[in-house]
Amino acid sequence: MNKADSERMAGILEEMGFQWSDSPDEADVILYNTCTIRDNAEQKVYSYLGKQAKRKHLQPDLTLVVAGCVAQQEGEALLRRVPELDLVMGPQHANRLRDLLEQVFAGNQVVATEPVHIFEDITKPRRDSTVTAWVNVIYGCNERCTYCVVPSVRGVEQSRTPEAIRAEMVALGQQGYKEVTLLGQNIDAYGRDLPGVTDSGRHQHTFTDLLYFVHDVPGIERIRFATSHPRYFTERLIRACAELPKVCEHFHIPFQSGDNAVLKAMARGYTREKYLRIIEMIRGYMPDASISADAIVGFPGETEEQFQNTLDLVEQVGFDQLNTAAYSPRPGTPAALWDHQLPEDVKADRLQRLNHLVALKAAERSQRYLGRVEAVLVEDQNPKDATQVMGRTRGNRMTFFTGSIQELKGQTVPVQITTARAFSLTGERLTAPLTLSAC
Ligand code: SAH
Ligand code: SF4
């Protein structure tokens, strides 16, 4: 989501006539889009900022901007800490960058962190890729997971209308984009804030309805989405994914912990058993589906036994990928105030043991690809080997094979998998055409 915000802000800067600079030390405007999900992400910005703040003393017309979640969290305190800053702007203000910079150029120091209605995105993002694109469907989050800073920095849920989302996808299809990832912190909450209910009392615009509404956009060959919340995940959504050919068989469903007492303390609103039932249901409809997730170790009070339940869940599910993190206390969140915080060394040890298991299980999962022919959508050259290109399978495994990027960029080609590593694959391109069902 931060990348999507960065691309939108870069698009606005470009429209204002700015050009990308290769070196931050040569830039006239520097914008840091920041993350505060964990403390180490937050600390990064302070180290970058220090250097540029010094440069400002030599070059007073340098414009310094901090955007994103650290900006939202710290607000004016950030100006007191770094008085050289010109603009502090929260993530809800990303689309207003032009306005805000104009105020700065008129001589003001500006803090934009008040909650706002996010106006329909009329800006043109400067997208990093010409093949795959992010499309926001819902901003903010109304959950209250006790460890999480997101609701306080990204604000309440605001869904974009189905028409606006489809229009953005149609434009992407016309520009030659092949894959869209629909984004929301809790994508299953999509539409709860939009008007309209069905005769049976269900919200009229659920995320599942949205998939049906956008899946036939011309030119777009693949649709992905993130992040799913186990509390709201439905069988109807799984059926839609199984039924709609463009929707990839990859589900990102964070479980956070495999222990019911920890899940309860996290206020996640589901049990380990419910999570396992979801995975079982997905595999019932799509046996080959890839499953990825996020997990936290060392939540306040987590015992060794409770941590073992997380290991056990990972063992049982066999994730294709898992983003893992040691619990980091965040400002303004309930869990940060609890007094049974775990020592850093215990958290680090659990993280290492979990990561070890994750790599083993992912390597096992990768084995199923060996010898198979996979449809790979080519995105780019392999940065480590110019004779190779890279792209992803429908299940989201990065795959490398020999080929020319000029010829293959944006194409979906059949690749026979010859090497399977934990998190990536290597293969050989087949020249026989793909059958429709494979692409
Ligand atoms: N909305 C998504 C995730 C948002 S944050 C969801 O509900 O799953 C991305 C991930 O960061 C979370 O899934 C969680 O695993 C991790 N995370 C969030 N807060 C954290 C904290 N305080 N310490 C460690 N990890 C955290
Ligand atoms: Fe944070 Fe929970 Fe919202 Fe995800 S669902 S963004 S973890 S509060």
In a domain, 247, yes or no: yes
End-to-end distance of the chain based on CA atoms, in angstroms?
Answer: 27
Residue from 412, 382, 409, 438 nearest 425 by CA: 382
Q: How far apart are CA 279 and CA 329, in angstroms?
A: 30
Question: Do 358 and 311 fall into the same domain?
Answer: yes
Closest protein CA for atom 1 of ligand 2 = 148
435, part of any domain: no
Q: What is the pLDDT along the chain (439 residues), one digit of tens a residue?
A: 999 999 999 999 999 999 999 898 999 999 999 999 999 989 989 989 998 999 999 999 999 999 999 999 999 999 999 999 999 999 999 999 999 999 999 999 999 999 998 877 777 899 999 999 999 999 999 999 999 999 999 999 999 999 999 999 999 999 999 999 999 999 999 999 998 877 777 777 899 999 999 999 999 999 999 999 999 999 999 999 999 999 999 999 999 999 999 999 999 999 999 999 999 999 999 999 999 999 999 999 999 999 999 999 999 999 999 999 999 999 999 999 999 999 999 999 999 999 999 999 999 999 999 999 999 999 999 999 999 999 999 999 999 999 999 999 999 999 999 999 999 999 999 986 655 554 4
pLDDT at 438: 45
Residue bearing the CA closest to ligand 2, atom 5:
143
Residue 148 alpha carbon to ligand 1 centre in Å:
6
Q: How far, in Å, CA of 38 to CA of 327, rounded?
A: 8
Q: Which atom of ligand 2 is nearest to the CA of 149?
A: 1
What is 79-132 written as a DSSP string?
A: HHH-TT-SEEE-GGGGGGHHHHHHHHHTT--EEE-S--------S----S-SSE
| Domain coverage including residue 258 | 132-367
Shortest-distance ligand to the CA of residue 331: 1
Determine which residue's CA is closest to atom 1 belonging to ligand 1. 185
**Ligand 1 centroid from CA 149, angstroms:** 9
- Both 316 and 184 in one domain: the answer is yes
Atom number of ligand 1 nearest to Cα 329: 22
> How many structural domains comprise the chain?
3
Helices 344-367/304-317 angle, 10° precision: 10
Q: Residue 194 sits in a domain of what CATH number?
A: 3.80.30.20
Ligand 1: lining residues by beta carbon, under 6 Å: 37-38, 147-148, 150, 185-186, 227, 229, 254, 256, 294, 296, 325, 327-328, 330
Protein residues with CB under 6 Å of any ligand 2 atom:
141, 143, 145, 148, 150-151, 185-186, 229
Q: Which residue among 367, 389, 418 closes a domain?
A: 367
Q: What pLDDT score does 410 carry?
A: 98
pLDDT score of 159? 97
Nearest ligand to the C-alpha atom of residue 147: 1
Residue 126 lies in a domain: no
Looking at the fold, whether 349 and 395 belong to one and the same domain comes out as no
pLDDT at 123: 77
Among 318, 335, 367, residue at a domain's last position: 367
What is the best residue among 138, 186, 262 to mutate for testing ligand 2's pocket, by most ligand atoms within 8 Å of CB? 186
Q: Residue 390 has which token pair?
A: 């890279």
Number of the ligand closest to the Cα of 226: 1
Which ligand has the shortest distance to the CA of 150?
2
Q: Assign 157 to helix, strand or coil.
A: coil
- Residue 325 sits in the same domain as residue 389: no
Judgement on whether residues 169 and 287 belong to the same structural domain of the protein: yes
- Give a yes or no: residue 436 inside a domain: no
| 379 shares a domain with 350 | no
Cα 295 to middle of ligand 2, angstroms: 12
- Identify which of 188, 113, 108 has the alpha carbon closest to the alpha carbon of residue 153: 113
Residue of the CA atom closest to atom 24 of ligand 1: 327
- Distance (angstroms) between ligand 1 centre and the Cα of 199 equals 36
CA of 279 to the centre of ligand 2 (A): 20
> Domain check: are 243 and 314 in the same one?
yes
Cα-to-centroid distance, 306 and ligand 1 (Å): 19
Q: How far is the CA of 151 from the centre of ligand 2 (A)?
A: 7
Ligand 2 centroid – CA 189 distance (Å)? 11
Shared-domain flag, residues 363 and 221: yes
Query: Which residue's C-alpha comes closest to atom 2 of ligand 2?
Result: 145
Provide the 8-state DSSP code for 189. G
- Sequence-separated (6 or more) residues with CB below 8 Å from residue 243: none
Instruction: Kindly give the distance from the C-alpha atom of residue 99 to the centroid of ligand 1, in angstroms, as a whole number.
Output: 32
Q: What atom in ligand 2 is closest to the CA of residue 186? A: 5
pLDDT score at 119: 78
Q: Is 434 contained in some domain?
A: no
Largest alpha-carbon pair distance within the chain?
66
- Are 393 and 337 in a shared domain? no
| Ligand 1 atom at shortest distance from the alpha carbon of 335 | 22
Give the domain CATH number at 106.
3.40.50.12160
Task: Classify residue 120: in a domain, yes or no.
Answer: no
**What tokens does 9 get?**
């802000």
Atom of ligand 2 nearest to the CA of 256: 7
Which ligand lies nearest to the CA atom of residue 322 in the structure?
A: 1
Residue ID of nearest Cα to ligand 2 atom 4: 185
Q: Does 28 map to a domain?
A: yes
Strands 424-429 and 398-402 turn out to be parallel
The single-letter code of the amino acid at 399 is: T
Same domain, 332 and 377: no
Answer with the one of 367, 388, 415 that is the final residue of a domain: 367
Residues 193 and 300 in one domain: yes
Classify residue 61: in a domain, yes or no: yes
Q: Which ligand is nearest to the CA of 152?
A: 2
Ligand 2 midpoint to CA 266 (Å)? 10
Q: Are residues 103 and 249 in the same domain?
A: no
CATH of the domain at 393: 2.40.50.140
For 184-303, where are the alpha helices, taking DSSP H only? Answer: 207-214, 235-243, 260-266, 272-285
From residue 214, how far is each of 11, 180, 273, 375 by CA, in Å?
Answer: 24, 11, 33, 22
